[in-house]
Every structure is written in structure tokens, then in C-alpha cells.
Structure 1
Amino acid sequence: MSRRAPLPRHLPPPLLAVAHGTRDPEGTAATEKLLSRVRELRPGLPVVLAYVDVARHALADVLAALHGEVVLVPLLLGAGFHLRVDVPEALAAAPQVRARIAGALGPHPRLASALADRLAEAAAPAAGPVVLASAGSSDPRSRAGTAAMAGLLADRLGRPAVASYLCGGAPTPADAVAALHARGFRQVAVASYLMTPGFFARKAAATAGTVASAPLGAHDAVARLVLDRYDEACARGRSAVGRPAHSTTR
């Protein structure tokens, strides 16, 4: 009597990584490199990439090609407009998809470690305050998240860190640096609290009188955080179509 073929293992739900998007090819390459590291860390996990703005492939188009359960992990540092509005609207237009939505990546201690490494790579001063340069948001909750991230970075570095916003908030990085200089701090570094190279990263790097770090990019701590968010969403054990269920673990 012939043996039965073994039943196929249950595949985990795909990780649908949703990034903001940029016209900068270096930014797109950085996102793809980050997800390559995610795949290396979790062999066998299907990983799909979509963008909410500017770049291909648009979230709506990617969702149209998917069916069944997915875990949507925003490659976004804050819970702003894209996560609150764009993602739910795109999911509502794809009823064939059952999505668990993970929380935004930030704030989180893993990101503080990545930011500290990027500052060291830029040969930033080892003493003096740091200005955390975020993209900014009109959403006060997102700005509060940036302020919390500045606190985590200060704890990691053992020195002050000031939140700043390249748009949609105050102070700007330039204003934050000027205020610190006025208080007598001559050495001020800018930590780019941004995912990839692009328009905002260039603005952060152009802050006068400072050394600015590179964006987070494909740092190993970020890749591991993406998987943390995926696992947290899976652990909730229920679908939340069109309704972000932000992680309580920060």
C-alpha cells in the first residue's frame, strides 16, 4: 500500500509591507533592501510591498491582486494620515482581503538603537544634544509619537534629544538647532528620523551648522521591528478590516 503524501504545512499569512513611497531611486532601493533583510530573518514568510503615495506599486493595485488573510505592516514611523485614512480606504475597496493591521513602527527602543548607530556612522559629536528630525504631521498624535521617540533616543544616548519637524509641526530642525546654539551648545547633531533617502532626508542633511545622520534604511534593528509588528498583529488572532489596531507595545 502506498504511503500518503505529507500534507502541506500551513503557510503564514503574507506580510504586506506598506511604505510611503518616494521618487528618489535610492529611497526605493533602501525599502527593497530592508524587505530583503526581513525575508532573510524569516525564511518562508511571504513578503509583499506596496506604497501609499508616489511610487509603484500602489496599495490599491497590490490589494486587488491579493485574496484572503494578510498582515499589513506600515513602514511608517508614526500613526498619521496615511495609516488613519489611506490604508482603511484602500482595504475597504478590497473586500476579498481580510487584513490585520499592525501599528506604526515608532516610537520604539529598536529605532533608538538604529538612530544611535546612524549617528555614529556619520561621525556625529559624541557629546552635546541631538535634534531628532522627523517628516512631521498635521496629526497631533503623530507629533506626540516623535516627541516620545526623542525621549527614547535621549535615554539611549545619555544626552538630550529634541524633537523637530520638517513640516507640519514646530520647531523645524533649523529652529531647534538655533535654539540650542543660543543656549550655548556648540556641538549639535541631527538624527534623521526618516525611513529612506529622499526629499525630507535632503532637507534634514541641509540643516546648517550640524552633522546629520543617514535615514534608518535597511538597519537590522528596523527589519527586526517589522517582524515584531507582524508577530504582534498575528498574536491578536482576529482580523480588523480597514481598522488599524495599533500595538500597545512601544
Structure 2
Amino acid sequence: MTPLIAVAHGSRDPRSAATIHGLLDVVRALRPELDVRAAFLDLSEPLLGDVLDAVRDDGHRDAVVLPLLLGRAFHARVDVPAAVTDAQRRHPDLRVRVGDVLGPDPRLDEAAWRRLLEAGADPSDPDLGVLLAGAGSSHAPANRLVDEVAARWQSRTSWAGAVATFAAAASPDVPAALELLRDRGARRIAVGSWFLAPGLLPDRIIELARGNADSPLIAGPMANDPGVADLILHRYELAMTQDRLPIAV
């Protein structure tokens, strides 16, 4: 079968790559006949270009590259296409389909929601304010996706508020988001995770939340939710039906 190369951002934090590998083990368990390979854009190994070289060396002439990215920000619009283009210059006989990013998709919303409930957040608590923490991007549509998820959460709960907050490159940051929630009457705080894996940016959010709120509830990242593995396989199957899925919007 056409190999699935799942490419994540990469991180200096070894927990991040380990989590991605664990997620792909779930994908393999769901589809044991499928050749599933991990790759990274930076900071972790193996890099995407090296994995594409290995796929070609193993005799394959087709591959699907699937970005394990939550939105169409810089890495999806620039880094992934650049790495694929470089590999195809080296291997003109290698046909690479590029799958779409993971978000937006209801399965991500539900994965983040389940992590938050597991952390102890009560949807019926009118005194609870919820931060939905994302990485942040200079690409406004990527940030808007996180805002929209927080708004959907607010609409289905009795919370004082639910707002997005970002680790970098976008606002509001954690202190500003907490001020918004307190202005709406929040007396207790929970932090939802719009991250696939642990790492430096999620840790930054957690540190700021704990430094600016009393004993906030902290949700884990989404990668260990079975819905994410199902979404990866859905994106793979969709990519297989097309010559190449555009990443840029």
C-alpha cells in the first residue's frame, strides 16, 4: 500500500516526539496493513526529507504526506510543500500526495473536550472560566479556529466564559485571557489544550496559568484520544482519492 508519512512539527522536548510515535502506534493498530512512518519538520528526527528518501529507497513510487498540524499556518503552507518539492527534485519518479491538515474537524473538538472533562471541568459550573490554549500564529485564520472552538464550548455549557489564549504570536496571552474570564464572573479556572503533544509551548501556557490563577484544572494534549487516530486515517483516505490536496488557502 501507499505509505503514510505523518509529519509533525518537532520539538526540543522529547515528550513531544514520543507522543507522536505513540499516536502513530494507534494508527498502525487500526490499520496493520498500512506502512505508517513518522517524520518531523524540525528539531526532532527523522526529518521529512529523509523519510521521503527512505520511502523511495525502499522501492515505493507513491507516498502520502499527512501534516499533523491543527491549522493551515506557516508550517502547513510553506514548510511541508518545500520539503516535498525538494524530495521530488531528488526523486522525479516519486509521486507524493499531500494530505490536508487535521483541523478544523469535529473529532479534534471532541478530543480536546474529552481531555478537559477528564481534568475535572464541569460543564454545568457557572463559576468556571475556561482557557483554550493554542500555539498562536501570525496567520489569523489559524488563530480563529481556536476562537471558534472556544465559542462552541461556551454555547454548550453554563460556564462564566470560554476564551482562546495563545503561547506566542497572537493575543490574548494568558494574563489577558484570565482578565476577560474574571470580568465575566469566573471564580475558578480550567485550561483546555489545543495541542497534539506536550512541549515547550504548552508548558509556557501551564506555567502562566498556574502563576496567575489558584489551582487551575489542566487538560492534557489531544494525541492520546482515539478520535485523532481515526482522523489521520480519514485524511489519508481522502488524499488517496486525489492527485494532490492543496494545503494553502
Q: TM-score, normalised by structure 1?
A: 0.85
- What residue number does 2:247 align with? 244
Residue 80 (1) aligns with residue 73 (2):
yes
Identical aligned residues as a percent: 38
Residue 28 (1) aligns with residue 3 (2):
no
Equivalent residue pairs, number: 232
Confirm or deny: 8 A CA contact 2:101 2:247 kept in the other structure: no
1:29 aligned partner, one-letter code? A
- Residue 156 of structure 1 deviates from its aligned partner by 5.8
3-state SS of 2:55 partner = coil
Shift in CA distance, 157/14, structure 1 to aligned 2, threshold 3 Å: farther
Shift in CA distance, 170/65, structure 1 to aligned 2, threshold 3 Å: same
1:128-184 Cα deviation digits (max 9, x unpaired): 342111001111121122223323444565655312211111101331112111232
Residue 222 (1) aligns with residue 228 (2):
yes
Q: C-alpha root-mean-square deviation of aligned residues, in Å?
A: 1.9
Shift in CA distance, 186/83, structure 1 to aligned 2, threshold 3 Å: same
- What residue number does 1:99 align with? 96
Comparing 172-181 with 143-152, greater Cα deviation is found at 143-152
Confirm or deny: 8 A CA contact 1:103 1:245 kept in the other structure: no
Q: TM-score, normalised by structure 2?
A: 0.86
1:46-69 Cα deviation digits (max 9, x unpaired): 101110010011112112222321
1:98 aligned partner, one-letter code? R
**Alignment match of 1:234 (pick from 217, 221, 240):** 240
1:144 aligned partner, one-letter code? R
Shift in CA distance, 195/109, structure 1 to aligned 2, threshold 3 Å: same
Gaps in structure 1 of 5+ consecutive residues: 1-10
- What residue number does 1:162 align with? 163
Shift in CA distance, 98/213, structure 1 to aligned 2, threshold 3 Å: same
CA distance in 1, matches of 2:34, 2:248: 22
The residue correspondences of 1:1-250 to structure 2 (distance < 5 A) are 11=1, 13-67=2-56, 68-95=61-88, 96=91, 97-126=94-123, 127=125, 128-154=128-154, 159=159, 160-206=161-207, 207=209, 208-209=212-213, 210-235=216-241, 237-239=242-244, 243-244=246-247
- Residue 124 of structure 1 deviates from its aligned partner by 2.8
1:216 aligned partner, one-letter code? M
- Residue 217 of structure 1 deviates from its aligned partner by 2.3
Confirm or deny: 8 A CA contact 1:204 1:212 kept in the other structure: no
3-state SS of 1:238 partner = coil
Gaps in structure 2 of 5+ consecutive residues: none
CA distance in 1, matches of 2:26, 2:174: 31
